[in-house]
Structure 1
Amino acid sequence: MGAGIAWAVVLATASVTPSTHWNVTAPPANAAEWRCANESRSDWTVGMGARGELLFATTPAHPPELSQPLPGGGRLVGTNKGEWGGTVAWVSDSGAQRVELLNKPVVAFAAFRGEVFIASGSNMYGERGEIHRMHRRGATRWQIDKVLDLAEVPSAALLEADTWTLVTNRGVVRVDLRTLATSRLHTNLQWGQVHPGSVVHRQGRWFIGARSAVIRLSPFNGSYREEWMVPPSCATTTPAGTCHCKT
């Protein structure tokens, strides 16, 4: 909950409500267009407002630390420094005690049935991510087990009931936390170039904050159609020799 509060405050400071005036475009179609998207100066994030409205912002999606309150006291604190790694630590309520538990760059926590799941990964460690499961063994003792290897790097996550949806550098994967079975919702092997970092599920659609655009996935013929949303000031197409969304 602590991380959720921090996210809501950060998003509210520089957010906009998307409207029909935003341009909806096709994803980049070739290497030049993907390079333009990668070089954009705008990194969009997505979130929900107090009344359930969809909000877009240009503020970074991730706070310096992720925080997960724990039953029995204390909280988990996760850091992600990208290629410089990261950690998971237990911190007492007073902050006087700190126990490092895992040396992994943390993407997200998910509390489920008294346990905490940890999604981690970084391009520094190759095109792979991991999910660990943790449960308490004592006042300051925890057992952590790796329960799932991912053939892609997670960068954002959303927990809905018993399903954890992970946005990665290759698309969207869903994890059933009861069985740890995975299923693929969408694939785009180029997403690593635009660094997706936040996700919202609203009215059957998925909105994913990324560099240069908000990616929108809409149900279509039993799958999902990928479209990109950009502000009115952005071009709907990429003219030769220039890159859109640079202002």
Structure 2
Amino acid sequence: MLITPLLLIALAATVSPPVTIQDASQTPKGWVAIDQPNTDTGWRCANYSRQEWAVAGDLQHGIQVTPHKQTQQITLELTDGTLVGTNHGEFGGAIQWIGRNSPSQVIAPSAHPVAMTTRGSDVFVATGLAHMTLNTGNIIKLHHTKDGSWQTSKVMDLGEAPNAGVRIDDNTWVLLTTNGVTKIDLAKLTKEQIYRNSNWWKLYGNSIQQLGNSWIIGARRAVIRLTPNSNSYAEKWLVPDTCRNLSGPSCDCKE
């Protein structure tokens, strides 16, 4: 059963000092690298975990890992106003324009916005919803015309809901989706899924950052590290060393 992460009450992560990942080949002090679960019980405990991590940063300053805080709103500042996206999961969502010198207007009344980015004069929004058996996602393009109105068009079907995005260069936007990582070429409007794990929907991934040739992903239970391996990626989970294992009916942390 798929449940949208935007409707979950924020889970209090086990207290652990914030850490910075400077090198994808190394594990931060106080943390350990483990394999993903290989049993249904292991995945159930990951799904029930009370730890949930978010990642932010860049190659220059490193990737900061902090407890994740749920949000239902994203914003994008433009020269003449602000785009505000709200996402209440199965209860709806919208994209609103708040102009500095023009009336506010709802420009996408039924969207579920997750991430926004710009290229030239266009705005691209990753939208979608994963709830129960529903798992859909799209990219829509917004264009602000000279008369102040907004043109909205769907430019891509993602095949599943997006959870987060990170801009890599002028053309490349990488999206964390329900069950994988997808690279978007904004110039050609093409997509390429570069990694897939059909169990990721249980982890409610919330953020993604590039670190060299690797990817660092914030999620429930663990920080997921993807490092290049032949034509794909090797997946490892980074967890506090006080929570190497989850066991018992309540899936409690154990070293």
Fold match (TM-score > 0.5) = yes
Whether the aligned pair in 2 keeps the contact of 1:42 and 1:245 (CA below 8 Å) is no
Counterpart of 1:15 in structure 2 is 18
Distance 1:246 1:110, change over 3 A: farther
- The code of the aligned residue for 1:89 comes to Q
Measure the CA separation in 1 of the matches of 2:47 and 2:160.
19
Whether the aligned pair in 1 keeps the contact of 2:247 and 2:253 (CA below 8 Å) is no
| CA deviation after TM superposition for structure 1 residue 143, in Å | 0.5
Counterpart of 1:82 in structure 2 is 89
- Percent identical residues: 33
Asked whether 1:203 is paired with 2:212, we answer: yes
Unaligned 5+ residue runs, structure 1? 1-13
- The code of the aligned residue for 2:126 comes to A
Whether the aligned pair in 2 keeps the contact of 1:99 and 1:140 (CA below 8 Å) is no
Q: Find 2:239's aligned residue among 230, 234, 243.
A: 230
- CA RMSD for the aligned pairs? 2.3
Measure the CA separation in 1 of the matches of 2:59 and 2:154.
36
Task: Tell which deviates more after alignment, 45-54 or 177-186.
Answer: 45-54
Whether the aligned pair in 1 keeps the contact of 2:172 and 2:183 (CA below 8 Å) is yes
Counterpart of 2:13 in structure 1 is none
| CA deviation after TM superposition for structure 1 residue 226, in Å | 0.7
Distance 1:50 1:157, change over 3 A: closer
Q: Find 2:198's aligned residue among 172, 175, 189.
A: 189
Asked whether 1:57 is paired with 2:63, we answer: no
Report the secondary structure of 2:123's partner residue. strand
Deviations 1:32-64 (A, max 9, x none): 11110111111100012796122111131x544
Counterpart of 2:14 in structure 1 is none
Whether the aligned pair in 1 keeps the contact of 2:59 and 2:210 (CA below 8 Å) is no
Report the secondary structure of 1:97's partner residue. coil
Asked whether 1:69 is paired with 2:72, we answer: no
Asked whether 1:135 is paired with 2:138, we answer: no
Q: Find 2:156's aligned residue among 148, 159, 174.
A: 148
Counterpart of 2:4 in structure 1 is none
| CA deviation after TM superposition for structure 1 residue 98, in Å | 1.4
Report the secondary structure of 1:233's partner residue. helix
Report the secondary structure of 1:34's partner residue. helix
Measure the CA separation in 1 of the matches of 2:254 and 2:44.
13
Distance 1:204 1:244, change over 3 A: farther
Report the secondary structure of 1:127's partner residue. strand
Counterpart of 1:115 in structure 2 is 122
**Equivalent residue runs for 1:161-200 within 5 Å:** 161=169, 162-200=171-209
| CA deviation after TM superposition for structure 1 residue 238, in Å | 4.3
| CA deviation after TM superposition for structure 1 residue 97, in Å | 2.7
| CA deviation after TM superposition for structure 1 residue 233, in Å | 1.1
| CA deviation after TM superposition for structure 1 residue 246, in Å | 8.2
- The code of the aligned residue for 1:223 comes to S
- The code of the aligned residue for 1:126 comes to L
Distance 1:143 1:168, change over 3 A: same
Task: Tell which deviates more after alignment, 215-224 or 15-24.
Answer: 15-24
Deviations 1:85-129 (A, max 9, x none): 2110100227x7310011211100010121000100111382110
Q: Give the TM-score, by structure 1 length.
A: 0.86
Whether the aligned pair in 1 keeps the contact of 2:33 and 2:239 (CA below 8 Å) is yes
| CA deviation after TM superposition for structure 1 residue 138, in Å | 3.2
Measure the CA separation in 2 of the matches of 1:49 and 1:174.
18
Whether the aligned pair in 2 keeps the contact of 1:42 and 1:246 (CA below 8 Å) is no
Aligned length: 230
- The code of the aligned residue for 2:53 comes to W
Report the secondary structure of 1:38's partner residue. helix
Unaligned 5+ residue runs, structure 2? 1-16, 22-27
Deviations 1:127-177 (A, max 9, x none): 110100111123430101001112111001011111110101111011100
